[in-house]
Amino acid sequence: MRYFVAILFFIFTIPFVFAQEVPEKEVDSLYKEDQFYAGVTYNLLANIPEGLSQSGFSLGFHLGFIKDMPINTRRNVAIGVGLGYSANSFNQNLLISRDEQNDFEYSILDDSATYSKNKFSTHLIEIPIEFRWRTSTPTEYNFWRIYTGFKLGYVFSNTSKYLGGLEDLKYTNIQDFNTVQYGFTLSAGYNTWNFYLYYALNPIFSNEAKINGSVIDTNAIKIGLMFYIL
């Protein structure tokens, strides 16, 4: 009987225990948002010379840290400055080879050429600078955001690879690549999923890279998804 009474007592006291006021979690009025980022993009070539075309899937991977610095009392408007890493590949039919003087030369592979791979890739250290607007609050973790800005990159490594029927060519750290890349950026979305766009303002190659005497003014466009972490 006493066990029965004890069980009843336990059952009836549970609601009163949970009904007691629970201290609220302290709200961080000086919160910051989206200080780590990671993204994946599909890389396109713009301003291409006649005959140049892309093939396969050209990918980019991006990650880094951005210092979020709110500039209003509500803290939903901020300036972001950061440091990141970016790896990019471009599959296309621009052949990079060496001539008899051991200088690099550039030509377009025609449709009759037989090859299994032709691409160049770049690795960059980047400095993103963003103007940030969002609908966040100190207690709201799912919100809309629009981040626009400028990204400056230093190409510390580049590679060109051609796998063909007659020969294989691979070159690293080609001097004809522009070591500095820069362009506009835009990120917009809700919660986890954010559309991302990068439009380069300068060419991938320097003025030394030419096809039949014409400078290759090709620049990069990157379209994909960006993910932000507190």
Q: Is the dihedral of CA 88, 91, 93, 99 positive or negative?
A: positive
Mean pLDDT in residue range 145-172: 94
Mean pLDDT in residue range 90-98: 95
pLDDT category at 111 given cuts 50, 70, 90 is confident
pLDDT computed for residue 41 by the predictor: 98
pLDDT computed for residue 27 by the predictor: 58
Mean pLDDT in residue range 169-196: 96
Q: Is the dihedral of CA 152, 162, 196, 84 positive or negative?
A: negative
C-beta separation of 204 from 215 below 8 A = no
* Rg value, the chain, Cα: 27
pLDDT category at 26 given cuts 50, 70, 90 is low
Between 32 and 182, the higher pLDDT residue: 182
C-beta separation of 194 from 177 below 8 A = no
pTM of the model: 0.85
Rounded Cα–Cα distance for residues 202 and 47 (Å): 11
C-beta separation of 206 from 23 below 8 A = no
pLDDT category at 19 given cuts 50, 70, 90 is very low
**What is the rounded average pLDDT for all residues in the chain?**
88
Q: Calculate the CA 227 to chain-centre distance.
A: 9
pLDDT computed for residue 140 by the predictor: 81
Mean pLDDT in residue range 204-210: 95
Between 3 and 69, the higher pLDDT residue: 69
The share of the chain scoring above pLDDT 70, in percent, equals 87
Using the structure block, give the residue that is written with the tokens 């006021």: 21
pLDDT computed for residue 24 by the predictor: 52
Rounded Cα–Cα distance for residues 194 and 188 (Å): 5
Asked if the model's pLDDT at residue 132 lies above 90, the reply is yes
The CB density around residue 224, as the number of other CB atoms within 10 Å, is 18
Q: Which residues contact 123 (CB under 8 A, 6 or more apart)?
A: 85, 86, 87, 88, 155, 156, 157, 158
pLDDT category at 5 given cuts 50, 70, 90 is very low
pLDDT computed for residue 10 by the predictor: 40
Asked if the model's pLDDT at residue 188 lies above 80, the reply is yes
